[in-house]
Amino acid sequence: MSLDTVSLNLFIAGMVFLLSAAVLPLLFLRNGKRMLRYSSLISAFISCLLVVCASLPVVVYNLKIRFVIYTITYFFSITCMIDRLSAFFIILIAVVSLSVIIYSFSYIEHMIENIKKNMIVCLICFFIVSMIMVVISLNMFAFLFFWEIMSITSFFLVMSEYEKAETKKAGLFYFIMTQLSTLFLIFGFMAIANISGSYNFENLDGVSSIAVNFIFVSLFIGFGIKAGIVPFHKWLPYAHPASPSNVSALMSGVMIKVAVYGIVRYVVDIAQPPLWGGIFILIMGTISALLGVIYALKEHDIKRLLAYHSIENIGIILLGVGLFVIFTNYNLTALATLSILGALFHTINHAIFKSLLFMAAGSVVQATGTRNIEEMGGLVKRMPFTSSLFLVGAVSISALPPFNGFVSELMIFLGFFQSGALLSPILEILMFTCLSLFALTSSLAAACFVKAFGITFLAMPRSDHSKNAVEVKMPMLIGPAIPAVLCVVLGVFSSRIFTFLGFDLPIPDLLVISSIAIISAIAVIIIVKISGRTKYPVRIDETWGCGILSQNPKMEYTASGFSEPIMDIFKPVYRTHTHIEKEYSDKHNTLFQKGFAEIRLFEIFEEYLYMPIARFVMKISADLAKIQNVIEPDSYILYTFVTFLLLLIIGGWFI
């Protein structure tokens, strides 16, 4: 049995398990027994394992497995191909969904109605199936087919808490944006079908430039909307906080990566975008990264903060892709492989630490019952494991050495550094500014996560929710533990993995560095033990507060306090506007009675881009509806009369 038939059978077995996991809760929608959900989650777990071992050999030995699943009519057939790129993304999806499934074992039990619990389990399984199928579909029809299923299942998952008002807005925003992205995808695919004739993703390099540019722009916008690139990112900070945490972990960890898969597949396989295309991606990437992190700094809702960070990391991935395109246009293959590998490695890193962070945040939100970090604090003592997991996630997202975030950002940095001497001067200056903005982003991310971790977990609890928060149950710890371990493993063994896969990259071997670190740590501890033998044991005392008697939480730094200096430096970007209401006790407005003042952040994109279009469409529909609401027939017959006459006269002259 050759290797690819083995992996194919494993893959199909995995898919069958996953589908059965999805269908099972549907059959017994009303009964609340836990065993039903556990059995379906276990079968989903097994299927993820199967899928991982199915796609591992494909990545390592660069196989190409092509198979047809199902033909509805003779040209609408679901043909799939697993090659290295899609296998890599399958591993990404499977690993993250593995950990999310374990996490949901006990997370879902906290919900109230039984129907909702079963529905979420079923929808999550469908969601994972659709994402895996999108990644391996070769035929345009199959791609759109699963792309739409992915959007619809994730839409229903976002709407699972449909009672709240904010979920309504989030759901609406999300649905419209997904439909918009399908619209652009249809444009792009139709153009490809017109030029290349076949409905499969064929390579169309020898094609006239206008068509390729149009395809590139429409596909980029289509995938960009789903990935959450800046001008289209507005749905992300609404959809993720509204959906349950395990869903938002899946969505921001994996669904965004499927959109990135689309962009990478186009850039690498289908058609080589021109130089200006590369610059376009680079600029969009930098803007998304910068604005993503700057908006994250002002967020005090933990899940919105993480959502904005997904936008930032997508920007970083796009930087890598942009560099790849520019370098291939100057045919510097070594640098091109470095940057595309950096982008792909950052995709899987982001998938891992973002799902870790969302799951940890989910357990924190569930334990304290609120999403606002200003009301949290002191959780590190009450929830030690979750906080250490969150710490691992925070350290790896702010790209600090031993963890995986550092390696991928390092690769992109090296891409920038070594691009220096080889390109034209103007491009050189663009590279230089993008490098500085990228560096700014990663340092701001570090600052933001110090705030997020510090204010949420450290010091004293700021409200009684967080005072009596209690550590979550076992599955909700094992779930995030897997990505935490992966963060460390991928970080430390990164250069070993790359050499094993056959790429030699100029990145430092973190394995050697961390082993030396451990040796020196042991040495330091021994020296400190010997020299530091004191008579007095360790003493626990009051924090030194310049002489005040007892520390109370009111005196602690709040999240807005922490990030206020940075926000002050970046004031032009935030464009806050103050809103003051005053009430006077006399009519001459002289005796001030009471008032209300508020600094509100100006949602630039929402105010200037989305709302005007929405208001315009609503106005047209109101006018149209007004015309057609009249009951009497006269006006309608007048319309028909005029149309007949026009048709007749125009018909008479033209035909």
Partner 1 sequence: MINFPYEGILSALFVLVLVTAAFILTRRNILSLFTNYAMQSLFIAIIALILFLKENSVTLLVLSILTFATRVLIIPYVIKKIQKLMRIRRDVSFHYLTPISSLIVSIVLIISIYYSFYKFAANLSLAGVSYLGSTLGISLTFIGMLVIFSRKKAITKIVGYLVMENGVLLFSLFFSELPLIVEILIILDLIMLILIAAILAFGIDSTLEEFHQKINPLQKWVKEKF
Partner 2 sequence: MNDSTFVFYIIFNLFFAVIISPFFMSLIKKVKAYCQGRKGPQLFQTYYNLMKLMKKEVVYSSTSSNIMRITPYINIVVILLSSICVPLVFIPQSSGSGFGNIILFLYLLALAKFFMALSGLDAGSTFGSMGSSREMTISAVFEPVIIIVFAALAFVMNTADIYRMFTNSVNSSMPFLNPIKFLNSISLFIILIVETSRCPVDNPETHLELTMIHEAMLLENTGKNLALMELSHAIKQTLLMALLINLIIPYGLITTLTFTGVILGAFSFFVKASIVSVIVGVLESSIAKSRLFRLPILFMMVFFFSFLTILFEVFLK
Partner 3 sequence: MLIYCVIGVAALISILLSKSHNSMTVISVLQSSLSLGVTAYFILYRSLPVYYLSNRYFFMDHLGLYETLITWLIFLLTSIYASGYMKHLIVLNRFKKENLKMFYFAFNLLPINIMFAFFSNNLALFWVFTELTTLVSAVLIVLPNAKDNIIIALNYIFIASTAMLFSFIGLILLFGLTKNSTGTGTLNWDSLLSIVPSISSSVLALSIIFIFIGFATKSGIAPFHTWLPHAHAKAPSIVSTLLSAVLLNVGIYGIIRVYALVVHTPAARIISVIFFIFGLFTIAVAALTMFSQKTIKKFIAYSSIENMGLILVGIAIGTPLAMFWILFHTLAHSISKALLFFSAEVIQEQHEGLIIGEMSDVLRLQPFSSFCLIIGSLTVIGIPLFPVFLSKMGIVLELANVSYILLSISVILFFIVASAFSVVLMDIFSEKSSDDEDLPVRNATPLTIVLPMVILIALIFILGVFIPQNLNDLLIKIVSQLGI
- From residue 397, alpha-carbon distances to 350, 352, 458, 459 in Å are 7, 10, 19, 22
Choosing from 5, 71, 333, 443, the residue that interacts with partner 2 (CB under 8 A) is 443
Single out the segment in contact with partner 3 by CB under 8 A; choices: 396-404, 474-482, 548-556, 646-654: 646-654
Q: Which amino acid is at 410?
A: L
The beta strand positions in 270-359, using DSSP E, are: none
Q: Which residues on adjacent β-strands are paired with residue 584?
A: 592
Are 117 and 106 in contact by the 8 Å Cβ rule? The answer is no
Chain centroid to CA 599: 29
Choosing from 73, 208, 578, 593, the residue that interacts with partner 3 (CB under 8 A) is 73
Residue nearer to partner 1 on the CB measure, 163 or 634: 634
- From residue 405, alpha-carbon distances to 96, 317, 394, 533, 561 in Å are 16, 12, 10, 39, 27
Of residues 162 through 201, those in contact with partner 3 by CB under 8 A are: 162-163, 165, 167-168, 171-172, 175-176, 179-180, 182-183, 186-187, 190-191, 193-194
Residue nearer to partner 1 on the CB measure, 617 or 646: 646
Are 255 and 131 in contact by the 8 Å Cβ rule? The answer is yes
Q: Does 572 bind partner 2 (CB under 8 A)?
A: no
Burial class (CB in 10 A: 0-12, 13-18, 19+), 69: middle
Of residues 519 through 538, those in contact with partner 2 by CB under 8 A are: 520-521, 524-525, 528, 531-538
Are 157 and 123 in contact by the 8 Å Cβ rule? The answer is yes
Q: Is the dihedral of CA 79, 157, 618, 606 positive or negative?
A: negative
The beta strand positions in 30-172, using DSSP E, are: 65-73, 76-82
Question: Taking CA 49 as the corner, what is the angle to CA 45 and CA 55, rounded to the nearest 5 degrees?
Answer: 140
- From residue 406, alpha-carbon distances to 61, 270, 289, 345, 353 in Å are 27, 30, 16, 11, 12
Chain centroid to CA 545: 41
Residues of the shown chain interacting with partner 1 in the complex, contacts defined by CB under 8 A = 633-635, 637-638, 640-641, 644-645, 648-649, 651-653, 655
- Count residues binding partner 2 (CB under 8 A): 83
Binding mask 201-220 for partner 3 (x = CB under 8 A): --------------------
Choosing from 49, 56, 144, 489, the residue that interacts with partner 3 (CB under 8 A) is 144
Choosing from 459, 469, 476, 481, the residue that interacts with partner 2 (CB under 8 A) is 459
72, interface contact from partner 2, partner 1, partner 3, none, CB < 5-8 Å by kind: partner 3
489, interface contact from partner 1, partner 2, partner 3, none, CB < 5-8 Å by kind: none
Q: Does 633 bind partner 3 (CB under 8 A)?
A: yes
400, interface contact from partner 3, partner 1, partner 2, none, CB < 5-8 Å by kind: partner 2
Alpha-carbon distance 478 to 489, whole Å? Answer: 16
- DSSP state, residue 230: G
Q: List CB contacts of 17: < 8 A, sequence separation 6 or more.
A: 43, 44, 46, 47, 50
Residue nearer to partner 2 on the CB measure, 248 or 563: 563
Token look-up 């979550």 returns 472
Binding mask 474-503 for partner 2 (x = CB under 8 A): ---------------------x--------
Q: Does 566 bind partner 2 (CB under 8 A)?
A: yes
CB of 88 to partner 2, least distance (A): 24
Q: Does 31 bind partner 3 (CB under 8 A)?
A: no
CB of 620 to partner 1, least distance (A): 25
186, interface contact from partner 3, partner 1, partner 2, none, CB < 5-8 Å by kind: partner 3
458, interface contact from partner 3, partner 1, partner 2, none, CB < 5-8 Å by kind: partner 2
Are 276 and 406 in contact by the 8 Å Cβ rule? The answer is no
Residue nearer to partner 3 on the CB measure, 542 or 632: 632
Alpha-carbon distance 328 to 419, whole Å? Answer: 12
Are 199 and 193 in contact by the 8 Å Cβ rule? The answer is yes
Choosing from 192, 259, 281, 380, the residue that interacts with partner 2 (CB under 8 A) is 380
Residue nearer to partner 3 on the CB measure, 73 or 578: 73
Are 395 and 488 in contact by the 8 Å Cβ rule? The answer is no
List residues binding partner 3 (CB under 8 A).
Answer: 72-73, 76, 115, 141, 144-146, 148-149, 152, 162-163, 165, 167-168, 171-172, 175-176, 179-180, 182-183, 186-187, 190-191, 193-194, 617-618, 620-622, 624-625, 628, 631-633, 636-637, 639-640, 643-644, 647, 651-652, 654-655
